[in-house]
């Protein structure tokens, strides 16, 4: 076992994950073999592995953004076009929302809690349900482009726009232009009707199921997630520069969010990272392009935020290798 492999095992324990808790942790740096660790059992009793199919939650946003970026690259989508052009069923406020507002969470759409109050009960979370809920709001919370407020509904709308611009369902477009070219054989968007795709590790609660596309919807594996990160680091799709460009408010104020990616720094290095969560699931992924590094954590029976300090400590192992061993 390599020294880094041993350190990763120690860091998982130090973050508070016990040996019987199901968690997958991976790290891949260009020029080296990926290090993949997995422990625990799924809710059906099967062993967790780097090939276990799990829900990616909001990690899906960067894949949705990548689909939009590909359409921009090919001239099929203008990020300055109004949302109303693509979703004319929405109220008049959709004419004031630009697609770039959706990408950077500056669209001023209603908060999740307000939308959930309309999509009540045990109804599954679906794209159609969220868009129908948006039709109940006669006005936005504030003027688009004036504030950065994280919005799941914004990415649901973005996914619907991608489908219309591409003239095909998002799962098909992503399979053809993202997952197949990058050899992510186990990754897919899943809109249902069942709560879990075939072979997927069941979520803690089957219903309401996260079936909306754009804000979530992707099911993947640890191995594929690291492959995704390395592909973006190497610009394997030709859109990394665009995806890594931070957004700004309409008055030019910069924000630390790019295309489905949070923009951070760690020990002087630019880091692109994003978390994802659902009931009983926590995930986080980070890339450090100038180090050719991709790191991912997926915990499938977790209601805490232990993933964040674990990710930071994993980054420390590579970014600060001279730090004394604890």
188: region left, alpha or beta (phi > 0 left; psi from -120 to 50 alpha): beta
Helices (H) and strands (E) in the chain — how many of each? 11, 9
Query: Contact 209/127 with Cβ under 8 angstroms?
Result: no
Residue 276 in any domain: the answer is yes
Residue 268 in any domain: the answer is yes
pLDDT at 44: 87
pLDDT at 322: 41
How far apart CA 47 and CA 42 sit, in angstroms, is 6
Residue 104 in any domain: the answer is yes
CATH number, residue 8: 3.40.710.10
Q: What DSSP element (H or E) covers 72?
A: helix 60-73
pLDDT values of the chain reduced to their tens digit, one per residue, 326 residues: 578 889 999 999 999 999 889 999 999 999 999 999 999 999 888 999 999 999 999 999 999 999 999 999 999 999 999 999 999 999 999 999 999 999 999 999 999 999 988 887 678 999 999 999 999 999 998 999 999 999 999 999 999 999 999 999 999 999 999 999 999 999 999 999 999 999 999 999 999 999 999 999 999 999 999 999 999 999 999 999 999 999 999 999 999 999 999 999 999 999 999 999 999 999 999 999 999 999 999 999 899 999 999 999 999 998 875 444 43
pLDDT at 2: 79
pLDDT at 13: 94
Residue 264 in any domain: the answer is yes
pLDDT at 141: 85
Angle between helices 127-134 and 152-166 (to 10 degrees): 110
Residue 162 in any domain: the answer is yes
Cα dist from 248 to 99, 111, 257, whole Å: 13, 20, 8
Residue 281 in any domain: the answer is yes
Count of structural domains, the chain: 1
Angle between helices 60-73 and 152-166 (to 10 degrees): 40
Residue 326 in any domain: the answer is no
pLDDT at 323: 45
Is the pTM value of this prediction over 0.85?
A: yes
Among residues 118, 195, 196, 190, the alpha carbon closest in space to that of 153 is found at: 118
Query: Contact 23/201 with Cβ under 8 angstroms?
Result: no
Domain assignment of residue 71, given as a range: 3-319
Residue 234 in any domain: the answer is yes
């Amino acid at each position: 076992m390599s020294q880094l492999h041993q350190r990763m095992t120690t860091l998982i324990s130090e973050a508070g994950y016990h040996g019987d808790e199901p968690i997958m942790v991976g790290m891949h740096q260009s020029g080296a073999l990926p290090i993949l660790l997995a422990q625990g059992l799924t809710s059906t009793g099967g062993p967790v592995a780097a090939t276990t199919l799990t829900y990616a939650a909001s990690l899906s946003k960067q894949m949705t953004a990548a689909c939009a970026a590909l359409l921009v690259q090919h001239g099929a989508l203008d990020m300055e076009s109004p949302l109303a052009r693509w979703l004319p069923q929405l109220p008049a406020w959709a004419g004031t929302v630009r697609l770039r507002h959706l990408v950077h969470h500056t669209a001023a759409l209603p908060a999740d809690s307000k939308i959930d109050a309309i999509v009540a009960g045990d109804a599954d979370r679906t794209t159609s349900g969220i868009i129908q809920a948006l039709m109940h709001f006669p006005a936005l919370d504030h003027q688009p482009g004036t504030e950065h407020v994280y919005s799941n509904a914004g990415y649901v709308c973005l996914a619907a726009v991608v489908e219309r611009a591409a003239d095909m369902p998002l799962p098909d477009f992503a399979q053809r232009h993202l997952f197949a070219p990058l050899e992510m054989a186990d990754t897919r968007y899943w809109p249902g009707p069942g709560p879990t795709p075939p072979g997927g590790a069941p979520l803690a609660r089957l219903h309401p199921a996260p079936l909306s596309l754009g804000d979530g919807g992707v099911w993947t594996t640890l191995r594929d997630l690291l492959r995704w990160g390395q592909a973006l680091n190497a610009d394997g799709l030709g859109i990394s520069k665009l995806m890594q460009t931070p957004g700004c408010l309409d008055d030019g104020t910069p924000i630390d969010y790019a295309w489905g990616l949070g923009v951070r720094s760690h020990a002087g290095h630019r880091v692109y990272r994003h978390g994802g969560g659902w009931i009983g699931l926590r995930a986080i992924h980070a890339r450090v392009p100038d180090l050719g590094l991709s790191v991912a954590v997926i915990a499938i029976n977790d209601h805490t935020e232990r993933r964040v300090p674990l990710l930071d400590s994993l980054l420390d192992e590579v970014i600060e290798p001279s730090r004394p061993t604890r």
